[in-house]
Structure 1
């Protein structure tokens, strides 16, 4: 399950195919990636993988259409809703808790919103400069009334020509709004989609040697919400011979669960966290400023501490994945760093997402093996835990 991304699902297939070719070369392991096939209901994109005698069906569960309906929002609506959301989050104490738990991500999100408000202020200032300052006497009522319309036009132009770059302002502001709308239960289209995802996941039991649900970015919490729906309808899911694993990458779980209105999401997290039949692996790196990785997601969400090593945490150092030269160019590219854990590693001796997916060792076995290994300092994982 991908994050808040409006791109067509074939984009992810193209990324996977490209990175698989790199991994195959770097690790001298043939990897075959089949053509993508969209399901008739439009809910998923499937493709087949083959490597080391292992066949895998990779399914992308789609919600890009939901993202496109929410991003980009009209500028007027974005401005009003941003102010209202900021007031609510400050009033309820969310911002303080969020800052304590996710200092880097907090700086990014709050900083992006300040940049957005700065762009709005600059638009108003420019409109005033163009319409009011040239007047030799008191500005006319018509000129004063024209300022809001001119400011709106300037804001529209600035957002359009920059497309939010280099900081993806509109994307992250709208992503934040959608996350907190879902926390309040104000995203019914996502609720319906999660119900559909749960049905697809449940139907896979007994048809494969294992089921692995991978949630990247916002789908770190949409993933456990989908699994919770499965468990509520089928408490024995995962206990009938088909192992089930949940893998979170670039997790942002506390982003939603710290919201005072996120009662349903916190309850789902607590239930999935206690579901021993579902293995949980959290792959994280402190280099990703668009993720939250200070503590385990349950404790960070104000829930009782989970059992030891649930989820099993695997820490990755970005310099182990990317050469210093490339890293120096990408260091401040927020989305590039956020996606790096989904890409091929330049080193054949460290974590590699493609190898994780296509390797012969089942994910549930890998989770149990890593659980039994004493946690190593970041970047110093022993050969025993390497894929």
Structure 2
């Protein structure tokens, strides 16, 4: 049995959302590829940290059994998103001042480019919303027949109410301003150690991963988006809990999809995350496949995450790289409609592909080829599509 440990990104939605997505895309993949993929009903673990379901893949008489376990941290996200604008107005300027003074913004721009533009852009929009709210409030108050002192006191109160309405409207697509502003705050608070809830969640998750050794045919740890760095931290913790983990015959593979690892590891305060990245990057007992897409503006994909984080570059064959073309996944007319829906495009790698030979997430999880063998087959960085 293949044991998959999946870590989703910064998402407040219930974990059943991901089960529904996997089941739907598995049906599409089954129709397109002739591989039968059956997905069981999900079950929430008694300790509340996972949603688990079984996957059965069958093709040409070969059957693959998969146990799919999703780390729940939607409760941690909901505690931080959406934050109040009062917290944002205090914390956002302090964060950016710290990042600017440390030199983070310069190296982040060099390593991330388009992702840097997105993060900088949404924070610029937030600043514009604050200024616009103040201007609109001042204009409205000036029309009221009130004493000057009363008008002065009323402007920030009305501006705060206007800002709250604007942020509610832009919380979702297409701008996702509130989401990305709060995600940025989480990332850097996790880096600095100020945020402890996720650190506490990763310890029992690492124990789950470690305990699967000897019971599963292989262990696959998949981190998408913000969980690209959380997944490697979880593996690092499993290794700390048991220094012999990964050496007893059960193959262990890390898969990062839509990775944003340098987003956190370039932070001067991210000593713990950088140390985990350095150890996992050098740990040859674990395979590592990095699935990249240059069309995904919400990922960092220019080079390997160790070099991008200012650490010693790994050997050329340490990290297998799979570059996926958007044309292999969806039709050109659909790309034209979704191109600027950045979150929708960011999730495309978790969906079915239209090209028979292209990367397909459901087929990757439930297909007959062991994941560790696929990574070994890739060896040095490989390219699929453009």
Q: TM-score, normalised by structure 1?
A: 0.95
After the TM superposition, which residues 85-164 of structure 1 pair with which residues of structure 2 at under 5 Å, given as runs? 85-132=95-142, 140-164=148-172
Between 1 and 2, higher relative CO (CA 8 Å, sep ≥ 6) is seen in: 2
| Shift, 1:132, TM fit | 2.4
Distance 2:174 2:131 in 1: 19
Report whether the alignment pairs 1:375 with 2:375: no
Provide the residue aligned with 1:71 in structure 2: 81
Provide the residue aligned with 2:67 in structure 1: 57
| Shift, 1:349, TM fit | 2.3
Please give the root-mean-square deviation of Cα atoms over the aligned residues, in Å: 1.3
Provide the residue aligned with 2:3 in structure 1: none
After the TM superposition, which residues 239-254 of structure 1 pair with which residues of structure 2 at under 5 Å, given as runs? 239-254=247-262
- Give secondary structure in 2 for the equivalent of 1:110: helix
After the TM superposition, which residues 293-308 of structure 1 pair with which residues of structure 2 at under 5 Å, given as runs? 293-308=301-316
Provide the residue aligned with 2:349 in structure 1: 341
Distance 1:162 1:351 in 2: 33
Provide the residue aligned with 2:48 in structure 1: 42
Q: Which moved more, 1:159-168 or 1:60-69?
A: 159-168
| Shift, 1:164, TM fit | 4.5
Provide the residue aligned with 1:237 in structure 2: 245
> Contact between 2:320 and 2:382, CA under 8 Å: does it hold in 1?
no
Q: TM-score, normalised by structure 2?
A: 0.95
- Give secondary structure in 2 for the equivalent of 1:60: strand
> Contact between 1:209 and 1:243, CA under 8 Å: does it hold in 2?
yes
Provide the residue aligned with 1:200 in structure 2: 208
Instruction: Give 5+ residue unaligned stretches, structure 2.
Output: 1-6
| CA deviation string 1:160-200 (max 9, x = no partner) | 23435421000000000000001100111111001111111
| Shift, 1:79, TM fit | 1.6
| CA deviation string 1:246-295 (max 9, x = no partner) | 00000000000000100110001000111110000000000000000001
After the TM superposition, which residues 256-335 of structure 1 pair with which residues of structure 2 at under 5 Å, given as runs? 256-335=264-343
Report whether the alignment pairs 1:18 with 2:24: yes
> Contact between 1:132 and 1:139, CA under 8 Å: does it hold in 2?
no
Distance 1:343 1:169 in 2: 24
| CA deviation string 1:281-324 (max 9, x = no partner) | 00000000000000100000000010113211111111111110
Provide the residue aligned with 1:255 in structure 2: 263
Distance 2:329 2:94 in 1: 41
Report whether the alignment pairs 1:191 with 2:205: no
| CA deviation string 1:60-89 (max 9, x = no partner) | 011111000011001111121111111111
> Contact between 2:207 and 2:241, CA under 8 Å: does it hold in 1?
no
Distance 1:164 1:328 in 2: 20
Distance 1:233 1:159 in 2: 42
Return the match for 1:81 from 84, 91, 100: 91
Instruction: Give 5+ residue unaligned stretches, structure 1.
Output: 381-387
> Contact between 2:317 and 2:379, CA under 8 Å: does it hold in 1?
yes
Distance 1:15 1:165 in 2: 18
Distance 1:35 1:164 in 2: 29
> Contact between 2:323 and 2:382, CA under 8 Å: does it hold in 1?
no
| Shift, 1:351, TM fit | 1.1
